[in-house]
Amino acid sequence: MRRVGGVEDMTRVAGMTERLDVEALLRRLTLEEKASLCIGSDFWHTAPVERLGIPAVMVADGPHGLRKESDEHGQGVLGGSVPATCFPTAAALASSWDVDLVEQVGAALGRETHAEDVAVLLGPGVNIKRSPLCGRNFEYFSEDPRLSGELAAAYVRGVQSRGVGASLKHFAANNQETDRARVSADVDERTLREIYLPAFERVVREAQPWTVMCSYNRVNGTYASQHRWLLTDVLREEWGFEGLVVSDWGAVHDRAAAVAAGLDLEMPPQLGHSDRAVVDAVRSGTLDEAALDTVVRRVLTLVDRSLEADAAEPAPPVDHEEHHALARQAASESAVLLKNDGLLPLDLYGGRRVAVVGEMARTPRYQGAGSSQVNPTRLDTALEALRAAVPEGTDLSFAAGYRLDAGDEAGLADEAAALATDADVVVVFLGLPAQAESEGFDRTDMHLPARQVDLLERVAAANADVAVVLANGSAVATAPWDRHARAVLETWLPGQAGGGAAADLLLGAANPCGRLAETIPLRLEDNTAFLNFPGDSGHVRYGEGVFVGYRGHDRLCQEVAYPFGHGLSYTTFAYGDARVDVTGSHQAGDLRLRVTCRVANTGDRAGKEVVQVYVGDVEASVARPPWELRGFVKLDLAPGESADAVVELDARDLSFWSPSVRDWVLEAGEFRIGVGASSRDLRSVVPVQVDAPRVAAPLGAMSSLQEWLADPAGTAALREVLGTTADGRLAGALGHAELQRVVGNFPMETLAGFPNVDLDHAILDDLVARVHRSAS
């Protein structure tokens, strides 16, 4: 069982499940016991109350594998965890664009978590990849909120299907490691609503994670752990979150303020400090005990859910071989074939000579560093997997080419170049060493180590038939070197079975089907966050607004190395003309757009195609990206087979967030629905006319003349009060077209003070009253 502490029958609901009677317990708890429950008991456990039979439950790091610390290591020490399957990191899984596969991985993670008596797995992370430099990008899915949200929801469903909870993190606007515990992410509400919150929203609404983890940083000056608008107004009251909010480890600075904001559990506990602060705040009247009861109720409910799951289904034994096979499949389907002129898959007929170059072929980089670091149950290397899989008679040789540490590399590149000279084909394994990216710090550039690029140039000079296999958690710049390779296969951080997956893909036992979940720019400087990352003086300004990732590259008409959604296959696919069927209406609340496109496998291999649906607003009152991903389908097609890709859209998919209206706004007019293989490869674009009632902020004295004239009620009030001319235009100075061009964007309050305008403050008050009466 996942608990410690005594049991007292009267605190439990009768029956086999040993459920806690939460309300009865709340009535019996002392103030001090309540305070203890909202801060945990040690690094990984909630607090028990043995007097009342309330057990502690354990949480443990994820998200791509369970990191439960073993008993012989101290709490909070990295590297001392029990063996667990290390699946591909989120950066890799996102490139699968496969909801079902991610749910299977989540279920396997849940099974291992349950077997180790852990109640909550701390993942997934859905923070948006604002900059490719973020040191923790390997742990996050995408630069796009729709892709992030759909995959994370599948992950949570999978984990929680096995009777353990997930922890959706890091809420919110945690997009860098630099000064992460203090920095204020200064971001406008529209950008929050359209880019940084939707993935969280989708997971909460569709999968109801047991917990949400707040982030370290401040959001517009307020620590996330004390941010009531985020933790209560948005998360609970708008989205309907029913679970517990836990702090990131060390994110709480004022426990009483955090309780009032809606933070339920502080981890790890500041024993004797945070609990005492809560007790003192309640006794002094600065914290309502009802607010404390609310967070304690949520902690007890989490414990109760864990007990219920324990009693309902004892943890079955884990089949680590089965999970390793799933990890290999996931790694294979997450790899992205960026470039290929026909070199891959390798054709190893008649005893051909293959040179494998690069230390990473035998010493793989397969996971990230920091709190997510897993102790794998086993580890495949690409070198050994290739040796085991190449046809009999193939001459496969190896040269390290470089070191992963700072040691002496004398002669390594010479050896690799000599080996390449005598080979028929060369496979070069490159990537970022572990010390180049990690939780805790951000990168300063996007480049591969210079010695690796130099090695590739020397190998390519000796043999033109070069395939590159990449291993990295964050996007790396490819433009400086990919001309030296005929094929480039991006495997990200592929987990413990990544070596076998790489061999499968290189030899054609598997067909690449991954697609980029983030843009690879030509230069770091092309990233729209470049001028505002990572900030300074305790602030980082999200000055690019909604133009993150491909949204920004498209808006600036920039060329990129490889676009969002890109990925090649060993087969080919043909797209038919897309069809968009519109039903319902926005005004009635039932607007739906059904997008259908026929896709055929026109090659001679079975393969999977990710059909992507993008929306563009042709004419909007606000700046919008040219295209935004709004849905996708992954089709598995045999040679010659075709199938329909169908994606359902609704009004939200066409809308933008209006801070003045404080809601999503759909403007009537023409939209484009694009269907294709990437954000830059839309095979079919369909124009669609959408009708919607006009939505605008309420008119007032600070509304501009243009806003009054654009509003039917405003125009009617002006005409009624100020009159009209014989030709029907507004009477007086405000009716002159030239004046409207010059001062039309002035607030009416300002114009009311101008002596040459037929408007004063009394008349303006009357106008405002009239439009408010007409709206009521």
Residue 548, both tokens: 């993150």
Bridge-based pairing of strands 184-186 and 539-541 is: parallel
DSSP assignment string, 507-531:
HTSS------SS-EESSGGGSTTGG
**Distance separating alpha carbons of residues 766 and 290, to the nearest angstrom:** 45
Collapsing DSSP to helix, strand or coil, 192 comes out as helix
**Distance separating alpha carbons of residues 343 and 422, to the nearest angstrom:** 17
**Distance separating alpha carbons of residues 424 and 105, to the nearest angstrom:** 38
- Phi, psi at residue 564, to the nearest 5°? -55, 130
Cα 260 off chain centre by: 28
Whether residue 248 lies in the annotated active site: yes
Please enumerate in sequence order all residues whose Cβ is within 8 A of that of 341, keeping only pairs 6 or more positions apart, or say none: 486, 487
Collapsing DSSP to helix, strand or coil, 537 comes out as coil
**Distance separating alpha carbons of residues 669 and 558, to the nearest angstrom:** 27
The structure tokens 């408007």 sit at: 759
| Identity of the residue numbered 771 | V
- CB under 8 A, 24+ apart: contacts of 478-485: 478/338, 478/520, 478/561, 478/562, 479/522, 479/523, 479/561, 480/447, 480/453, 481/448, 481/453, 481/456, 481/457, 482/338, 482/339, 482/561, 484/456, 484/457, 484/459, 484/460, 485/339, 485/428, 485/456, 485/460
**Distance separating alpha carbons of residues 471 and 589, to the nearest angstrom:** 46
DSSP assignment string, 753-770:
T-TTSS--HHHHHHHHHH
> How many CB atoms lie under 10 A from the CB of residue 391?
12
CA-to-CA separations, 3 to 38, 45, 237, 311, 315, in angstroms, rounded:
17, 9, 31, 12, 14
Q: Which of 243, 246, 1 lies closest to 114 in space, CA to CA?
A: 1
Contact of 180 with 145, CB cutoff 8 Å: no
Please enumerate in sequence order all residues whose Cβ is within 8 A of that of 265, keeping only pairs 6 or more positions apart, or say none: 38, 39, 40, 46, 211, 244, 245, 246, 247, 295, 298, 299, 302
**Distance separating alpha carbons of residues 676 and 612, to the nearest angstrom:** 5
> How many CB atoms lie under 10 A from the CB of residue 10?
11
Cα 685 off chain centre by: 27
**Distance separating alpha carbons of residues 15 and 149, to the nearest angstrom:** 38
Please enumerate in sequence order all residues whose Cβ is within 8 A of that of 284, keeping only pairs 6 or more positions apart, or say none: none
Please enumerate in sequence order all residues whose Cβ is within 8 A of that of 710, keeping only pairs 6 or more positions apart, or say none: 696
Collapsing DSSP to helix, strand or coil, 97 comes out as coil
Residue 549, both tokens: 């990732």
CA-to-CA separations, 269 to 37, 38, 275, 525, 602, in angstroms, rounded:
10, 9, 9, 42, 59
Tell me which of 248, 304, 504, 653 is the catalytic residue.
Answer: 248
- Residues involved in catalysis: 248
